[in-house]
A and B are shown apart, each in its own frame.
Chain A
Amino acid sequence: MEMTGAEILMECLLEQNVDTVFGYPGGSILHIYDALDGYSDKIRHILTAHEQGAAHAADGYARSSGRCGVVFATSGPGATNLVTGIATAYMDSVPMVAITCNVSNALLGKDSFQEIDIVSITMPITKHNFLIKKAEDIAPAIRRAFAIAQSGRPGPVLIDITKDATAEIADYQKQNVAPVKKEAQATVKEFEKAIRLLKRAKRPLIYAGGGVIAADAAEELKAFQRLLDAPVTLSAMGLGGFPAEDSAFCGMIGMHGSKASAYAVEHCDLLIAVGARFSDRATGNGDGFAPKAKILHLDADRAEIGKNVSTDGFLVGDAKAVLQKLCQRLEPQAHSVWMKQVIGQKKEHPLDASVLTPQYILEETRSQTGEDAYITTDVGQHQMWTAQYYQFNKPRHFISSGGLGTMGFGLGAAIGAQIANPDSVVVNISGDGCFHMNMNELSTAAKENLPIIDIVMNNNALGMVRQWQKLFCEGRFSQTTLNKKTDYDMVANGLGAQAFTVDTPEEFQAALKAALACRNMPTVINCIIGMDQMVQGKLTESNRE
């Protein structure tokens, strides 16, 4: 069937069952938005305030639903505004397809108006990218892009299409999309070695990460844990991949991790990493990590094996498929003494409910929203407090920029999560620094009548940096005290959100109740908290980087 390149793109999105796109129009992408208008009954477009917000929304949509996120932007600044969002998705292995348009073929390479070489710019932050200059190449590129984004270790793919290619006529034939294969590539021999390691272990520890969530392998992880009888620690990306309420859970690993997980890492004799990549935030500097342990590494990405730590065994493949196979081959093990030792290290954090603290905010939010709420975060102290205090029992419910650490991620991600889960409660936990980065997206949430709850932990500081300055710069708080004159209520109201400013537990409780009762507009709860609240963890305990 003959149609324009832009229409071919729409048809290819429908092939992939895409029904939601986040984006922002412009000159070069004119024809695509023109075609989109004709498909508005099949493809919902969410117009954000800024392309970065659109990229984060596509990301939050993907993380919360497991589907591929799609974002549109025009050439030049439209495309460059996506860069932080694409990099965020890349670092956290989120499936996303970004479609940008470039100037027409004849203008390419001539520094034309709004021309940018976005393919070169995004090469290091995409799994792959394409520059498409002919309408006939659009369909194959789109199909390949979705396959690449969702296969193996997921990640973002960018397709840059010239404006003339979107207007050109080409033949389109509908194709059925083959399901993405999820399999274990590991050999029988590698499985046998893994089983030997597992059987010999006296003090095994499971360290699981985002790969478990990406592969929807939470059930398999639980089954594996039951067979192995080992404690489980999670990276920030893995939170929700194993229930926080489970008695075998010993908390988050690493710099801001729990005492029990640090004890377990220190004393285990086999560390089984499942869909985790031994990032510096999890392991410290790598040397001296798990000093007594052999390492068994399960990952979808072969290039992660041996990258940051050397391994004694490895299984490459989709976490779900690999764990299923392991469970078939492993007889039940028993490590009750070791389990008791680790779990005995778990600390209770008694709650002081007399003042408004981050812990109170998080525990109250958890108790009012239950375990089904989707929690997005920005980056900083509030992010780590959320990771530490909020009890995530379900995968895909903690949505946070773990790898890139993108301030301003949360609100866009919350929009994506709410669009993907319209009936669920979506809460963005933010700070006053992050709020000022991308608060413009409140207008998007308001326009779309999204009941997102934006909780701002307002300590009048860039708290995480302030904490580092306190520990490492002898308390010289260079440029981290904010002293902004922002009237949060007025800003929120001005952008179409309801707002509360609270500084006591009772006020917070009431504000949250009011926010939850409102299902057709966003709410900002500006929480005034103390400036010198610290994130506890290895960093504060040992006072070193």
Chain B
Amino acid sequence: MTRMHVLSILVENHAGVLSRVAGLFSRRMYNIDSLSVGVTENPDVSRMTIVTMADEDTLVQIKNQLAKLVNVIEITELSKDSAVLREHVLVKVSAKDRVGVMQICDIFRANVVDISREYMTAELTGAPSKISAFIAMMEQYEVKDLVRTGLTGLARG
């Protein structure tokens, strides 16, 4: 059964590592829903969080193929129950109805981080479903620009 999986991958922080990982996914016809990457507490190591839609067999293949990359240090799968999973969104909407926008932001505990005469920008951090629900509500205010970071996460405990 194809479903969403979240892989947390520690890699050596070298030039070209992102390209190796992304290239592996495209070359082997694996899906990437989102990919986020940043340095860890150790400046020599980065953590990638990859969200992929895959069946169980393909997931095993993905892990095995990733493990063959010389720059990959560790691969763990994060599940909703055993990990904190978060995504960040910035959404810029029309400022015509400021009160309406701010009410929605209040309900979702989003922050307005920029405002001009024409537009206002809100930010929200949360689980992807919450982000999607927030975006759906903001759509009525003419979304001008929107950016999601893709999922990132850490195992609990």
Contacts and interface: CB of A to CB of B under 8 A. Distances in A.
B65 A303 contact: yes
| From B20, B60, B64, residue with most partner A Cβ within 10 Å | B64
Interface residues on A, range: 10 to 19
A303 B68 contact: yes
Contact of B60 (A120, A123, A124, A306): A306
Interface string A299-320: 0011101110010000000000
Contacts of A131: 15-16
Interface residues of B, number: 15
Contacts of B57: 306, 310
A80 to B, nearest CB: 18
A128 interface: yes
Given A119-B16, A120-B19, A301 B68 contact: yes
Given A119-B16, A127-B70, A148-B70, A303 B64 contact: yes
Interface string A270-312: 0000000000000000000000000000000111011100100
Nearest to A302: B64
A119 B60 CA distance: 28
Interface in B43-102: 57, 60-61, 64-65, 67-70
B27 A305 contact: no
Contact of B70 (A119, A128, A307, A310): A128
B68 A123 contact: no
B23 interface: yes
Contacts of A307: 61
Nearest to A119: B16
Contact of A123 (B15, B20, B61, B67): B20
A305 B23 contact: no
Nearest to A301: B68
Contacts of B70: 127-128, 148
Interface in A106-158: 119-120, 123-124, 127-128, 131, 148
Contacts of A128: 69-70
Interface string B1-34: 0000000000000011001100100010000000
Indicate the member of A305, A307, A310 with the most B CB atoms within 10 Å: A307
A120 B23 CA distance: 10
Contacts of B60: 306
A45 B118 CA distance: 71
A305 B19 contact: no
B64 A123 contact: no
A531 B129 CA distance: 65
Given A306-B60, A307-B61, A124 B68 contact: no
A66 B4 CA distance: 43
B73 to A, nearest CB: 14
Nearest to B16: A119
11 contacts: A119-B16, A123-B23, A124-B23, A127-B68, A127-B70, A302-B67, A303-B65, A305-B64, A306-B61, A307-B61, A310-B57
Interface of A: 119-120, 123-124, 127-128, 131, 148, 301-303, 305-307, 310
Chain A to chain B: the 7 pairs with minimum beta-carbon distance, closest first: A303-B64, A128-B70, A303-B65, A302-B64, A124-B27, A123-B23, A303-B68
Given A124-B23, A124-B27, A127-B68, 12 more contacts: A119-B16, A123-B16, A123-B19, A123-B20, A128-B69, A131-B15, A302-B64, A303-B65, A303-B67, A306-B57, A306-B61, A310-B57
